[in-house]
Structure formats: structure tokens, C-alpha cells
Structure 1
């Protein structure tokens, strides 16, 4: 009886051939989420891929085809010296922004939501002001008659300003890039369960040990990724070092601008930009391998 019932449920012979055909005619329409995400991603890929491709092409075609620009850059001691300055400034700024941004992010994550929204708004407000304006403001503050010079004069006994020095560049870049670590680290700290340190303390750990052994390791991915983001941005920073720094603080971005605007050497400028891109990519891969930080925010 069971076998006869199962046989009667089978479709006719002609329907076996029509089922795959019907399935093939069904076209899956993209949903709204895929369309909303796909169009911006495609746009950014085109907008980013074309300039990078044009830069790579100019580096090996101007003024003549070949790798002469890269050979000249690799054998130029000045380029290596400027590259070392760029890496050092970017590293110092990355470390300072993380050290200054983590306490702020920790306070925002631990305070009430209403106060956190207000303070986060204060962190975001500097993005509404141009980097050029903020860099000019540091020229006024760090000049010979600036506010910083007047405050430090009784301590240092020197009335000369800090302008056109490495300290001025680091201070100005730290101020401009500080919101990035604060926002990135806060986003991770908001996801950490606040009861974990309390549980560690209930098991006998002190407040410092509970923080360093339980809470802080959970924030390490955000700390590393935010510092790496600031470091990569600092490698290509141009406006602030050009305005606040002096000849001894020239960065690769300043040299690239001079190659285009003064020497009209587009090939060398493209080669230096390519080397900067390779350096940033290589350092990112090394940091990800050493720290085992993965994910979108880890670049």
C-alpha cells in the first residue's frame, strides 16, 4: 500500500523535463541591500583604480619607457633620508594619537549614553573644519608670539617659537588625526561587556590586573588598527608638514608636490607615489601578520 501510494505521487514523464527548464527561467533579482552596497563599491573601485593605474603607468612611461625613475629614486640618498623622516613622523604621530585617544575612548564607552553622544559630537566637530585652516591655526599658536610660546616661556626661558620644527609637525598632525583613534577604539570598547572586569575582580584580581589581563586585550585589535590607519594617513600627509614644518621636516608628499609643481617631473612623482603605496601596503601586511589582527577596521 505504501509503495503504491508513493508511485502515484510521482509526476508524469513530461514534467521531469519541464522542471529544470522552469528553474532556469527564474532570474534572481538583486535585492535592495545588494544594489545599495554594490553601486558605491563599484563607483569607489573605478574612481580609485583609474588614478592608481594612471600613476603606475606614468611611473614607467615618463619621460621614457622603463624603470629609470625607480632606479634613480633607489640610488638617491636624499629620497631615502626624506623617506626616513616620513616614517619617523608618521610613527610618532600614530603612537601619540593612540596614547591620547584611548583614555578618551574609554571614558566615552564608560559614561552615560547622553553624555557620550555630546562628547562624541565634540570629537567629530573638527572634521567640519578644513585641514588647511587647522594647520594655519597652529602656525599662529606655535609662532614666536603665539600662545604656546608665551605659556612655555617662563619654563623654558626661550621666547623663540616652535614653528618649523619636528615638534611642531608632530603636534599639529596629532591634533588633526586624533579623532580617528578615538572613534575607532570607542566602537570596539562599546562592544566589550563591562561585567568582565568586575568578574575578574570578584575572582581575586586587582583593578590593574583585571584591566590589563581582561579588558585591554579585547581592545588591542582596535588599538592596532587605529594606529595603523593614522600611520598610513601620516605617510601621505602634505598640508601640515608643508606649512608647519621646515626644510628638515620635508616628507615624501612634499617632495612629490615639488617634483610636479617645480620640476614638472611627473614620472619621478609617480614613482615616489608608487613606492609610498608599496611601503604602506607592505607595512600593513607585516602588522597584520605579527599582531594577527583581521577584519575591516584592520585595513
Structure 2
């Protein structure tokens, strides 16, 4: 006895319903991540990419199209001197900030969680104070008769203040930018496996050798990233160098402000800003390549 297999019937809903389902694409709702990230990206393009693009265009179009502004900038000895002073002070601030911030970050990373949270709050509190207020505070401390001057008077025998010099700018900028490397380095130190240094100790390395050969290389990319961030911010800092520094320590930011407010030379101001942008991007890419850690110095 043979059994006959029934022929497959039309799909449910009939052939017309199947064709309608095939012809009409399903509407896909956008993912939450795309919606959540789309708005910030659009805002960043509006408030960052557009002004930067306008600055780049102005650098080669005002007062006339061409590279005359760039030629004038790289051949003017005054601008070259100001650029050198800016780079030098930013590098000094970056080095001092990293040297002071690494021990603080290491202490935070090795402290118990409850104590680390309290100390981390103390590191973040300066962000709640205006940069202008902190700069004026350093004017009071470093000025004639200030606290720093009185403390150094027995050693120097000089009652004059320390204002309007490169040292005053470095001290004030270090105080303002120090939380940045502390936070960056601390976040990296939290991810370092402590068993690696303990393993080095069990293999015969002393505490200093294990720290120098195992711990420091793992922390080096984040340390370099914190230094680059401080350097880039220091390049374009305006308020503190304008208040604490003197005419000999004018930075590129101060020259840009004068070009816009006094001489109305928008083309030169845009060119100087473009030079700072290229310098910062080039340094960040170089450090990123040398450290081989993509997340450490990502813009």
C-alpha cells in the first residue's frame, strides 16, 4: 500500500499576501546606540568642525587668497620667538605635571577603594573653581608681599614678587592642569594586574627593579597620553599666561587675541591657530604611534 504525499499548499495568507510581504520592506527601528550617539556627533560637527573649517579657510583667504599669511608667520622673528616660548612653556608644564601627577595617581590606584574615592574627589574639586579665579589667586601668592615671596625671602633675600616671568606661568599652569594627568594615569594604573610585579618579585627582582621593568612600561602609554594632553591644552591656554606672564613670555594665544582685538588681522590669527592645530595633531599622532596604544592619546 502506497501513501501519497500531499502537495504543498499555498502559503498562509495566500499568494497575494506573500507577494505583499516580499514587496514591502520591513521598517527597522534605529538602534538606541545610534540615536544616543547621533545627537552628540551632530552637535560636535556643528560647534567644532564648522568653526575649525572656517578658521582653515580664513588662513588662506584673508586678506587675499594664498599662503602669504603662512610665509609671514614663518619668517617673522617675533612670531617665531613667541611660538618657541609657547612650545617650551607647554613642554615644561607637561613634564612637571606628569612628574607630580604620577605619584598621586599611583597612590590613588593602590589605596583602598573608600579612601581612593575621597582622594579622587579632592583631585576633581579644582575643576569646580573658575580658571580666572585660580589665576588671580596665583597673582596674590606670587606678587610683591605675597605668601610665596615671604617664604622665599630668607633664602633669596629679595622681597620682589615672582610674577611676570616664565616660572610663574609654569607654576600656575601646572596647578590648573595637574588633575588631567592624575585622572588619565590613575585610570590606566587601575587596569594593571598587580600579580605581574609580584611574579617579578618571586623570580628574584627587587622592589625597585620590578617597578621599573614591569610596572612602569605598562604605565608608560597612559603617562605619555597625560603629558600630551597637558601639552596640547597648554599650547592654547590664554587666561593664565595673559595674567601671570609678562610681555617677554607672551604666548601664541595672546598674540592671536591681539591680532583679533587690536589689529583686526583675522588672517594671521587663523594662520597661527592653524599652526597650533597642526603641531598638536602631529605630536598626538607621533606619541600614539610610539606608544602603540590606540586608546591612550586618542583625540
Both proteins in one fold, TM over 0.5: yes
TM-superposed CA distance for 1:283, in Å, is 1.6
Residue aligned with 1:263, SS: coil
Residue aligned with 1:270, SS: helix
1:44-83 alignment runs, 5 A limit: 44-83=44-83
Q: Using the alignment, how far apart are the partners of 2:296 and 2:55 within structure 1?
A: 26
Residue aligned with 1:70, SS: helix
* Range moving further from structure 2, 153-162 or 125-134: 153-162
1:245-264 alignment runs, 5 A limit: 245-264=245-264
Q: Deviations over 1:166-221 (max 9, x none)?
A: 00000000000000000000111111122221121112111011111111111111
Task: Calculate the TM-score normalised by the size of structure 2.
Answer: 0.91
Indicate the residue corresponding to 1:94 in structure 2: 94
Contact 1:221–1:298 (CA under 8 A) maintained in structure 2: no
Indicate the residue corresponding to 2:183 in structure 1: 183
Contact 1:224–1:298 (CA under 8 A) maintained in structure 2: no
Indicate the residue corresponding to 2:223 in structure 1: 223
Task: Calculate the TM-score normalised by the size of structure 1.
Answer: 0.91
Indicate the residue corresponding to 1:272 in structure 2: 272
Matched, 1:210 2:210: yes
Q: Deviations over 1:78-122 (max 9, x none)?
A: 111111111100100000000000000000010011111111111
Q: Using the alignment, how far apart are the partners of 1:9 and 1:212 within structure 2?
A: 75
1:31-46 alignment runs, 5 A limit: 31-46=31-46
What runs of 5+ residues in structure 2 fail to find an aligned partner? Answer: none
Indicate the residue corresponding to 2:127 in structure 1: 127
The structure-2 alpha-carbon separation of the partners of 1:23 and 1:135, relative to structure 1 and needing over 3 Å to count, comes to: farther
Contact 1:222–1:298 (CA under 8 A) maintained in structure 2: no
Size of the aligned set, in residue pairs, is 293
Contact 2:288–2:296 (CA under 8 A) maintained in structure 1: no
TM-superposed CA distance for 1:61, in Å, is 2.0
Contact 2:221–2:296 (CA under 8 A) maintained in structure 1: no
TM-superposed CA distance for 1:144, in Å, is 1.2
Q: Using the alignment, how far apart are the partners of 2:99 and 2:114 within structure 1?
A: 25
1:88-167 alignment runs, 5 A limit: 88-167=88-167
Residue aligned with 2:30, SS: coil
Contact 2:109–2:116 (CA under 8 A) maintained in structure 1: yes
Q: Using the alignment, how far apart are the partners of 1:178 and 1:46 within structure 2?
A: 30
Q: Using the alignment, how far apart are the partners of 1:23 and 1:194 within structure 2?
A: 59
Q: Using the alignment, how far apart are the partners of 1:86 and 1:11 within structure 2?
A: 79
Indicate the residue corresponding to 1:289 in structure 2: 289
TM-superposed CA distance for 1:297, in Å, is 4.1
What runs of 5+ residues in structure 1 fail to find an aligned partner? Answer: none
Q: Using the alignment, how far apart are the partners of 1:189 and 1:66 within structure 2?
A: 48
